[in-house]
């Protein structure tokens, strides 16, 4: 399936030309980030929790949150909205009204459930680490039974989602272009600030080569893109 | 009121030592950002929308979203959860289980309503621009009546919120510190990538001095901190 919408709840109504429903576009925005905001409802009250996520093919997985307790009681799954947002720039127009933000976001709707099947869960835990740090999993002290049990991975199928993207210069009212008011775009970037040793490293322990790419001022977005979903 | 909780829904249950309920701490996390994720419920379905926000004293304001349509029908306000998240670093431990993220986040619960009172709305629109670009409002083509009407500002009182903060090195199991496995922290930073002129500037229009601080590689977090809430 190449289209993930539009559906009644994913259709971008305000500024519809910013909306995208192709699976490839949605995947690209998802794969460019690692923190999402999960929305869920308890007794009519919305909750929004930030957490680490990753995509594997047509599924999204994320690390357990307070929604997990709720899910343990409701094995059939709960409705969630998973939103990912990248801020690329600030857009300054000639009027306050046309100031805007350049961004890429995805809103995905689905039914979250706990990943319980051991093989799937183990693969998900591995991907959780490898997605950020390719090559790291095999260097670590292996996961023990208690840790395996204490880790909650949630997942949902990616079937209904939209991407919303704004790029480029401000769009002003026609008559305002003649005004001597400056307009333009401020770009933003997320970089590696540095990498530091833990204070309690065992003697002789050196930073492994799988982390060489996390050098000061490395483009963090580019590093995230290295992970290839199955 | 200096305390914003804990309440049943803001109490940090998982790793409670990361929770903070002091208004000053919550304000500091809020004032360090400008994009929040708003959660709301329509017919039992959660929605999470990213949008620009700012704080003025004991209130949070944000730019209208799809929740606005819903609010117009329900003048009494709707329950929302407003979440702000800053990612400061990646925490690598000796075991997969203790890998973590350094972050600062706030989850605020309240009743959102539309800011309709003209003086309050005008002040909020001004703050929306000045919060990001101090000195810019007075240089712009003034807001006209149609724009004033077409802009939706939502707001809520900040009465129930918690901050959750993780800083510093990994915390491994005692016996793992003897292992020859590297552990440490990768810091992340958001910088100005650059500032560019709109392609259609009127002849002779120059970048105004109020934007001088948005220079390439300027620390964006520090720039946001300049705005002083009333």
pLDDT at A182 over 70: yes
Task: Return the pLDDT at B125.
Answer: 93
**Which chain B residues are within 8 Å of A196, Cβ to Cβ?**
184-185, 187
What is the distance between the alpha carbons of residues A220 and B190, in angstroms, rounded to a whole number? 10
Task: Please state, for a pLDDT cut of 90, what percent of chain B lies above it.
Answer: 78
In this structure, chain B runs to a length of 230
The distance of B83 to chain A (nearest Cα, Å) reads 6
Tell me, yes or no, whether B97 lies in a domain. Answer: yes
Tell me, yes or no, whether B84 lies in a domain. Answer: yes
**Which chain A residues are within 8 Å of B15, Cβ to Cβ?**
none
- Residue burial A17-47, b: 16+ Cβ < 10 Å; e: rest: eebbbebebbbbbbbebbbbbbbbbeeeebb
pLDDT in tens, A25-70: 999 999 999 999 999 998 889 999 999 999 999 999 998 865 666 6
Cα A203 to the center of its chain, rounded Å: 37
What is the distance between the alpha carbons of residues B82 and B110, in angstroms, rounded to a whole number? 8
Query: Which two three-digit tokens encode residue A10?
Result: 């994913």
- Which of B13 and B222 is assigned the larger pLDDT? B222
Q: How far is CA A141 from CA A138, B63, B77, B170, B182, in A?
A: 8, 47, 51, 14, 11
Tell me, yes or no, whether B161 lies in a domain. Answer: yes
Backbone conformation region of residue B15, classed left if phi is above 0, alpha if psi is from -120 to 50, else beta: left
Task: Return the pLDDT at A204.
Answer: 96
CB atoms under 10 Å from CB of A219, counted, come to: 13
Q: In 3D, which of B167, B166, B7 has the Cα closest to residue A47?
A: B7
Task: Return the pLDDT at B82.
Answer: 97
Tell me, yes or no, whether B230 lies in a domain. Answer: no
Number of compact structural domains in chain A: 1
Tell me, yes or no, whether B73 lies in a domain. Answer: yes
What is the ipTM score, two decimals?
0.94
Q: Establish if A124 touches chain B: CB-CB under 8 angstroms.
A: no
Q: Point out the residue among A81, A99, A196 whose CB comes nearest to the CB of B48.
A: A81
- Which of A22 and B230 is assigned the larger pLDDT? A22
Residue B222: its H or E element: helix B220-224
What share of residues in chain B are helix, strand, coil (percent, to 5)? 25, 40, 35
- pTM, rounded to two decimals: 0.94
Tell me, yes or no, whether B22 lies in a domain. Answer: yes
Q: In 3D, which of B171, B183, B163, B185 has the Cα closest to residue B91?
A: B185
Summary mean pLDDT of chain B: 92
A117, A25 contact by CB (below 8 A): no
A160, A108 contact by CB (below 8 A): yes
Query: Which two three-digit tokens encode residue A66?
Result: 């307070």
Domain extent at residue A42: 16-224
CB atoms under 10 Å from CB of B158, counted, come to: 23
Q: Rounded to the nearest 5°, which phi and psi values hold at A192?
A: -75, 125
Q: Establish if B16 touches chain A: CB-CB under 8 angstroms.
A: no
Token pair 């208690």 is found at A146
Q: Establish if A35 touches chain B: CB-CB under 8 angstroms.
A: yes
What is the distance between the alpha carbons of residues B40 and B47, in angstroms, rounded to a whole number? 5
Tell me, yes or no, whether A212 lies in a domain. Answer: yes
- Which of A228 and A91 is assigned the larger pLDDT? A91
For residue A8, the 8-state DSSP code is T
Longest dimension (CA), chain B: 69
Q: Establish if B15 touches chain A: CB-CB under 8 angstroms.
A: no
A111, A77 contact by CB (below 8 A): yes
**CATH code (residue A159):** 2.30.110.10
The distance of B57 to chain A (nearest Cα, Å) reads 23
- Which of A160 and B43 is assigned the larger pLDDT? A160
**Which chain B residues are within 8 Å of A213, Cβ to Cβ?**
none
pLDDT in tens, B131-171: 999 999 999 999 999 999 989 999 999 999 999 999 999 99
pLDDT in tens, A90-132: 999 999 999 999 999 999 999 999 999 999 999 999 999 999 9
Task: Return the pLDDT at B184.
Answer: 98
Q: What number is the average pLDDT over the span B206-219? A: 97
Are A140 and B94 inside 8 Å of each other by CB?
Answer: yes
Confidence of residue B73 (pLDDT cuts 50, 70, 90): low
Task: Return the pLDDT at B8.
Answer: 85
In this structure, chain A runs to a length of 230
Tell me, yes or no, whether A9 lies in a domain. Answer: no
Summary mean pLDDT of chain A: 92
Per-position DSSP letters for A143-187, written without gaps between them:
PPHHHHHH--EEEEE--EEEEEEE-SS----GGGGGS----EEEE
What is the distance between the alpha carbons of residues A161 and A23, in angstroms, rounded to a whole number? 8
Q: How far is CA B134 from CA A118, B127, B137, B209, B213, in A?
A: 54, 9, 8, 10, 10
What is the distance between the alpha carbons of residues B47 and A81, in angstroms, rounded to a whole number? 6
Q: Point out the residue among A83, A126, A182 whose CB comes nearest to the CB of B48.
A: A83
Q: Establish if B195 touches chain A: CB-CB under 8 angstroms.
A: yes
Confidence of residue A73 (pLDDT cuts 50, 70, 90): low
Residue B162: its H or E element: strand B160-166
Residue B35: its H or E element: strand B35-42
Task: Return the pLDDT at A75.
Answer: 64
Are A186 and B195 inside 8 Å of each other by CB?
Answer: yes
What is the distance between the alpha carbons of residues A162 and A7, in angstroms, rounded to a whole number? 9
The distance of B60 to chain A (nearest Cα, Å) reads 16
What is the distance between the alpha carbons of residues B83 and B71, in angstroms, rounded to a whole number? 19
CB atoms under 10 Å from CB of A111, counted, come to: 13
Confidence of residue B75 (pLDDT cuts 50, 70, 90): low
Confidence of residue B176 (pLDDT cuts 50, 70, 90): very high
Q: Which of A175, A187, A198 to mutate to test the interface with B (most CBs of B within 10 A)?
A: A198
Q: In 3D, which of A103, A57, A100 has the Cα closest to residue A83?
A: A103
Q: In 3D, which of B72, B23, B30, B214 has the Cα closest to residue B136?
A: B214
pLDDT at A170 over 80: yes
Task: Return the pLDDT at A43.
Answer: 86
pLDDT in tens, B6-62: 888 888 877 788 889 999 999 999 999 999 999 999 888 999 999 999 999 999 999
Task: Return the pLDDT at A19.
Answer: 87
Q: What number is the average pLDDT over the span A174-186? A: 98
Are B47 and A193 inside 8 Å of each other by CB?
Answer: no
């Amino acid at each position: 399936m190449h289209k993930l919408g539009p559906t009644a709840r994913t259709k971008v109504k305000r500024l519809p030309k910013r909306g995208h429903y192709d699976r490839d576009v949605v995947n690209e925005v998802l794969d460019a980030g690692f923190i999402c905001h999960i929305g869920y409802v308890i007794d009519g009250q919305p909750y929004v929790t930030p957490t680490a996520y990753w995509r594997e093919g047509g599924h999204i997985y994320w690390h357990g949150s307070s929604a997990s307790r709720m899910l343990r009681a409701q094995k059939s799954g709960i409705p969630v909205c998973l939103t990912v947002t990248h801020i690329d720039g600030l857009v300054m127009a000639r009027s306050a009204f046309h100031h805007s933000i350049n961004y890429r976001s995805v809103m995905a709707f689905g039914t979250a459930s706990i990943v319980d099947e051991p093989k799937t869960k183990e693969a998900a835990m591995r991907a959780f680490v490898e997605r950020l740090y390719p090559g790291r999993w095999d260097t670590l002290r292996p996961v023990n039974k208690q840790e395996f049990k204490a880790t909650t991975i949630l997942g949902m199928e990616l079937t209904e989602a939209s991407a919303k993207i704004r790029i480029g210069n401000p769009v002003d009212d026609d008559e305002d272009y003649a005004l001597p008011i400056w307009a333009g775009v401020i770009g933003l970037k997320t970089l590696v600030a540095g990498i530091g040793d833990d204070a309690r490293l065992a003697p002789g322990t050196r930073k492994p080569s799988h982390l060489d790419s996390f050098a000061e001022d490395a483009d963090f977005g580019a590093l995230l893109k290295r992970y290839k979903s199955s």
